[in-house]
Amino acid sequence: MGVMRIGHASIRVMDMAASLKHYENVIGMKTVHTDADGNVYLKCWDEWDKYSIILTLADQAGMNHVAYKVEKDADLDSFKERVEAYGIATEMLPEGAMPFVGRILKFNLPSSHEFRLYAKKECVGTDVGSTNPDPWPDDKKGAGAHWLDHTLLMCTLDPPNGVNHVADNCKFMTEVLDFHLGEQAMVGPDANIQAAAFMFRTSTPHDIAFVGGPRPGMHHVSFFLDSWHDILKAGDIMAKNKVRIDVAPTRHGITRGETIYFFDPSGNRNETFAGLGYMAQPDRPVITWTEDTIGRGIFYHTGVLPESFTGVYT
């Protein structure tokens, strides 16, 4: 099978206490571990592996790395050969280099983002267990996010100088990591510049996305909720906690998902995302959004794409 799904994201924050309050009380995660360097590890209630978010104290917000889980440990050796044959250097980190994780294959995407693959992470089970489970745990907090769903990475897009790291990443993810392209946005006079790519390995519309911008960075990490009702409730929880909301509850055209975008205390953008939209399959035709409809693709109700949405990120 190779790559199965997203495993975790390591995020830089500038105020650990405020960040923990946010990820625990607003998103609904639980702290499961703090290492000797003060990094804090958290999980959502419906995740079975040890953690999905790592918070690292730093003087600037952003992402350290994103990691995806592969099916077998031997897959790491196979991917190491494939990544290096593509012309990208790799490093194999030994078991224990990260808490509760086996070997890790580390490399940079063409966009320069640090990307990691691993096969083993301690399984602790969901908060409702695997025998006669209830639909949700009694101690669910905040929005009660089920799991870390995906991340969207901003990639340098400078067509006049021949730079398009969206297309470069899409090619690499397809040819080397066996991801599939679900949706894309094409711009330019001849509609031949790939400005956004939404890619999947599971049956959801996207497990990772790339969007063009002036520099590389993290646009958001996204957490899954059940329904539109849960999205609205999450908005109420954010208002109660005085969270800075970027985009109020609405629907995407791309992926058909329902969404709220908001910021953690350090300025890292988060998303709560609901709705599977459609079943993504390798033989499904790629959906393409043209330059004149990108606003409706991102925010279906208004069709308006605020400049800050792609201009402000960490």
CATH classification at residue 34: 3.10.180.10
77 within domain boundaries = yes
- Residue 102 and residue 229 in one domain: no
- Written as six digits, the tokens of 20 are 């923990």
pLDDT along the chain (314 residues), means of 10: 96 98 98 98 98 98 98 98 98 97 98 98 97 96 98 97 97 98 95 96 94 97 96 97 96 94 98 88 95 92 87 93
Instruction: Give the total number of structural domains in the chain.
Output: 2
pLDDT attached to residue 292:
93
- Residue 153 and residue 226 in one domain: yes
Per DSSP, the three-state class of 216 is coil
- Residue 98 and residue 155 in one domain: no
pLDDT attached to residue 40:
98
222 within domain boundaries = yes
Per DSSP, the three-state class of 300 is coil
- Residue 177 and residue 307 in one domain: yes
- Residue 101 and residue 250 in one domain: no
133 within domain boundaries = no
| 301 phi and psi angles, rounded to 5 deg | -70, -45
CA distance 283 to 287: 12
- Residue 113 and residue 153 in one domain: no
Last residue of a domain, one of 118, 140, 173: 118
124 within domain boundaries = no
pLDDT attached to residue 264:
98
284 within domain boundaries = yes
- Residue 214 and residue 80 in one domain: no
- Residue 40 and residue 152 in one domain: no
Range of the domain at 113: 3-118
pLDDT attached to residue 151:
98
- Residue 208 and residue 275 in one domain: yes
CA distance 267 to 160: 30
Whole-model pTM above 0.75?
yes
- Residue 258 and residue 304 in one domain: yes
Beta carbons of 273 and 286 less than 8 angstroms apart: no
CA distance 270 to 92: 30
Q: What does each C-alpha distance from 101 to 69, 75, 95, 137 come to in angstroms?
A: 10, 15, 6, 26
- Residue 245 and residue 297 in one domain: yes
End-to-end CA distance of the chain: 32
- Residue 155 and residue 291 in one domain: yes
Catalytic residue list: 150, 206, 220, 252, 261, 271
